[in-house]
Amino acid sequence: MEILSLINIPYWILTISLICLSLYLYTVWRHGIWKRLGIPGPKPYPFLGLLKQLPIDGFAATDFNLIQKYGKVVGVYQGTRPTLLISDPDIVRDLFIKDFSNFTNRPDVIKPDKFTSHSITVARDDYWKFLRTKISPTFTTGKLRNMTPLIQRCSDDLVDNIKKQSEGDSVIDMKEIASGFTMDVICSTAFGMQVNSQKEKDNQFVNYARRAMRTQVKAIFFLICMTFPFMKSIMTALFETPQFGGTEHFFKKVVSDILKDRNSSNIHRDFIQIVTEDSSTNDKSEDTEAHQGSSRFHSRALTEDEIAVNSLIFFAAGFDTTSIAVSFSSYCLARYPEIQDKLIQEIDKTLGKLVEMAYNEAEIPTHDVVMKMEYLDLFVSEVLRLYAPSTRFFREAREDVSINGWLIPKDADVTVCIYALHRDPEYWPDPEKFDPERFTEENKAQRHPYAYLPFGIGPRICVGMRLALLETKMAIVYMLQNFKFLTCDETEIPVIFEKGFLLRAENGVKLRVTQR
């Protein structure tokens, strides 16, 4: 093709050039949304927006720095997806409580595969409500009491693992030990599997579980979908891959075998049993009523696929988050010995010192006793303030909405920056100071009720929150009945965090313990 009769350009080069120019102009237009709406924020990097910065500084530091610079409402772009970062508790309340119907769903960056689409984490609208209704009863107080023996057995293994690894005054990595503990608890409470992942390194179930949790969407696939959202369906159709690393068949078979093996005379206390025991029939159909808008959802039981994927989601979500809470709890115990001593006094007064082979001299921690310990609750709350496992949570705007003078456009991602909010001096004086007394009833009454959100907020708050708290508190009690934690030369102060979405210690949590 000749241009101005001077240059002869092949059609294929011209076509590619026009496509590239069109895509560039598309990103420029998309990257102007927040400026047109008058919402402050950094100048986006071409095509990538904030995605260029996240691998460098990490989610926590990036959110914190942007909030510090631009205020409590910041307009950014993840690829070309407009994302509103929020750390204002009033806006959080208005969006996620008062206007929840407009912010029911999580953003759908990539199209879930057939198996994953049944999970409560990606389900939308009526289908999410149906799944939430079926799954929530798993975490009532009565059901958690029944799960407690499973957690007690895993807590005994936790104590044994700490003893073994600390022999000869050895330094232990509580990040690794806590991961083993939470793996064992979730295996028990989700699937009824009794394992000790610290000892059974080659356990098939544990290996498949770790494989499922390590699975990540390929970077190029993710970037294309974030930069050009209209390509999501095309990319999924061309390159659809299992989103749990090909482990779906294994877990579906596990659930199927479990359901076949159980009958009314069996006594089980795990997730699979609880979500099936209230129904006299269980529809095995793969049809899920198109997932949305069907009143028939509430008249049927969960399918095997729904039980399988939500068991796996329960497993994946509970593993990392609770192991982070346990590992940072031990870190804070070592860093603040006066707080550790005060907590030990409460435990000893309530239960007694638990020494090997002396169970008759001390009460075994139970659900009711552990959950009523006042100072333990203050301590765990402060750990979760400074080290909330998730750095942020997010929803998608169903329609345009105006909040506090800010217009949030339809389909925009609204992200609450937990890490930044939990370190805001307006609500947390001297925010880097570790002080459990912040959570006394008197101090909580003087603070904004939505300034503390380690598990999210509103109807879509973390469904397993109560189990996570029980598991964390049980681990602390068992450990402090046996040990005291100490810092050492290898203890990293302050902790360096990984760059990812979860607040993990990049170099582990290295401590020493002494036998009580």
Reported confidence tier of residue 97, pLDDT bands at 50, 70, 90: very high
Q: Identify each DSSP E strand in 128-287 by its residue range.
A: 172-173
The pLDDT value given to residue 219: 55
- Specify the pairing of strand 406-408 against strand 73-78: unpaired
Of 145-154, 194-203, 396-405, which gets the smallest average pLDDT? 194-203
Average pLDDT over residues 497-508: 93
DSSP 37: T
Q: Is the pLDDT of residue 10 over 80?
A: no
Q: With CA atoms as reference, report the closest residue to 492 among 506, 513, 476.
A: 506
Check whether 87 has a pLDDT greater than 90: yes
Residue 385 predicted with pLDDT over 60: yes
Q: What is the pLDDT of residue 278?
A: 53
Q: What is the pLDDT of residue 483?
A: 94
> Does residue 289 have a pLDDT over 80?
no
The pLDDT, as a whole number, for residue 441 is: 96
What is the pairing mode between strands 81-86 and 413-417? parallel
Contact (Cβ atoms closer than 8 angstroms) between residue 80 and residue 28? no
Residue 391 sits at φ, ψ, to 5 deg, of -80, -20
CA 320 to chain centre: 7
Say what percent of the chain tops pLDDT 70: 82
- pLDDT surpassing 80 at residue 395: yes
pLDDT of 237 reads: 60
Lowest mean pLDDT: which of 37-51, 270-284, 372-386, 470-484?
A: 270-284
How many angstroms separate the CA atoms of 500 and 491, rounded?
Answer: 21
Predicted pLDDT at 290? 36
> What's the pLDDT at 227?
67
Residue 462 assigned ligand-binding role:
yes
Q: Are 89 and 70 in contact (CB under 8 A)?
A: no
Q: How confident is the model at residue 111 (pLDDT cuts 50, 70, 90)?
A: confident
- Per DSSP bridges, beta strands 172-173 and 81-86 are unpaired
Task: Give the tens place of pLDDT for each residue, 325-383.
Answer: 999 999 999 999 999 999 999 999 998 765 544 455 557 899 999 999 999 999 999 99
What is the rounded CA–CA span in Å between residue 353 and residue 361?
A: 8
- Reported as a single tens digit per residue, the pLDDT across 413-442 is 999 999 999 999 999 999 999 999 999 999
Backbone angles phi, psi at 150, to 5 degrees: -65, -40
List C-alpha distances in Å: 305 to 85, 114, 116, 251, 353: 35, 10, 9, 9, 45
297: confidence class by pLDDT, cuts 50, 70, 90: low
> Which residues does residue 345 pair with via DSSP β-bridges, in sequence order?
none
pLDDT digits (tens, 9 = 90+) for 210-232: 777 665 555 555 666 666 666 66
Nearest to 181 by CA among 155, 204, 209: 155
For residue 481, pLDDT over 90 is answered with: yes
**DSSP 8-class letter at 188:** I
* pLDDT value of residue 8: 63
Q: Of the spans 30-34, 336-340, 458-462, which averages the highest pLDDT?
A: 336-340
Report the percentage of the chain scoring pLDDT > 90: 51
Q: Mind listing the domains of the chain with CATH numbers?
A: 31-515 (1.10.630.10)
- Three-state SS string over 169-185 comes to HCCEEHHHHHHHHHHHH
Q: Are 126 and 296 in contact (CB under 8 A)?
A: no
pLDDT at 312 over 90: no
pLDDT attached to residue 298:
59
Is the confidence at residue 299, as pLDDT, over 60? yes
pLDDT digits 0-9 by tens, 138-187: 888 988 998 899 999 999 999 999 999 998 889 999 999 999 899 889 88
**CB burial readout 103-116, b (16+ within 10 A) else e:** bbbbbebbbbeebb
Within 13 Å of residue 481, how many CA atoms lie on the same side as its CB?
Answer: 30
What confidence tens digit (pLDDT) does each residue in 437-452 have?
Answer: 999 999 999 999 999 9
DSSP letters, 99-142, are TGGGS-SPP-SS---TTGGGSTTT--HHHHHHHHHHHGGGGSHH
pLDDT band (50, 70, 90) for residue 243: low
Tell me the pLDDT band of 245, cut-offs 50, 70 and 90.
low
Which tokens in the block code for residue 496?
Answer: 């360096």
The per-residue pLDDT for 252 is 81
Residue 212 CA, distance from chain mean position: 15
- Whole-number Å distance between alpha carbons of 392 and 415: 7
Mean pLDDT of the chain: 84
**What confidence score (pLDDT) does residue 320 get?**
84
Instruction: Name the range with the highest mean pLDDT among 19-33, 150-164, 183-197, 263-277.
Output: 150-164
Is 288 a residue whose pLDDT tops 60? no
User: Which is more confident, 346 or 259?
Assistant: 346
